[in-house]
Amino acid sequence: MFTGFTPETVDFLWGIRMNNNRDWFLEHKKQYVDTLYEPMKALGRELFEPFQERPGNILKVSRIYRDARLHHPLPYKESLWICIRRDVDWWAENPCLFFEFRPEGVSYGFSLWHPRASAMEEFRQRIAGNPDEFLTLLRDTERRTGVPVTAQTYKRPKPAPSDGLAPFYAWKTDIGCIRTEEVGEEIFGPRLGARAKTMLEDLIPLYEYFNQFTP
């Protein structure tokens, strides 16, 4: 059961940012486990509940240790995240529902970081053939969440079949619907988990729509 994060969670994350070394981490490992890692796992289990009956989805909860194979100069990450996605090899090409805790606060929502060009071409063909389906989904998503759906765009947008679809034909990467909350009393305690769970449930139609176009 997720009971919430605490100010000690934030203290640890700022501490590892300022003291990213093994000695400091080992001295504060219990703080990491008790105030960050274990609550993150509990939150992940609650966020994944709506997906228990949706085959093909998996839950990932990150750990603070960097992959030594990447030869990063710092041994520890400065944030932890939860990701709900399809069981695929390369996650960045696929839609993800996520929650992340950084020293500055939390963010959660939908993201499609680096879709393949072929996936975005399929997306453009789909909205050209059925624009009302996508535009209705977009309006409903933004109404339910209160958060706009945004994306990084091409410098030279691709020709669109109508002015109404032109903004979406320009979408390239970093498609997202993300809520952020800065450090404050609101992010401590179990109510944060309820807000994140509601947000992610509201984003399931958008998540499933974009899963049609990814490998």
> Average pLDDT of the chain?
95
DSSP, collapsed to helix, strand or coil, labels residue 82 as: strand
For the stretch 3-56, pLDDT in tens is 999 999 999 999 999 999 999 999 999 999 999 999 999 999 999 999 988 888
| 49 Cβ neighbours under 8 A, 6+ residues apart | 197
Number of domains in the chain: 1
CB environment 45-75: b (16+ within 10 A), e (fewer): ebbbeebeeeeebebebbebeeeeeeeeeee
> Whole-prediction pTM value?
0.94
Q: For residue 126, tell me if it sits in a domain.
A: yes
pLDDT in tens, 127-174: 999 999 999 999 999 999 999 999 999 998 889 999 999 999 999 999
In single-letter form, the type of residue at position 21 comes to N
Residue 88: which CATH number?
A: 3.30.930
Look at residues 95, 83, 113, 102 and name the one whose alpha carbon lies nearest to residue 181. 102
Q: Is there a domain that residue 1 lies in?
A: no
Report if residue 11 sits inside a domain.
Answer: yes
Provide mean pLDDT across the span 50-78: 88
- The residue segments making up the domain with residue 117 are 7-211
Q: How far apart are CA 9 and CA 47, in angstroms?
A: 19
Q: Which residue has the higher pLDDT, 30 or 215?
A: 30
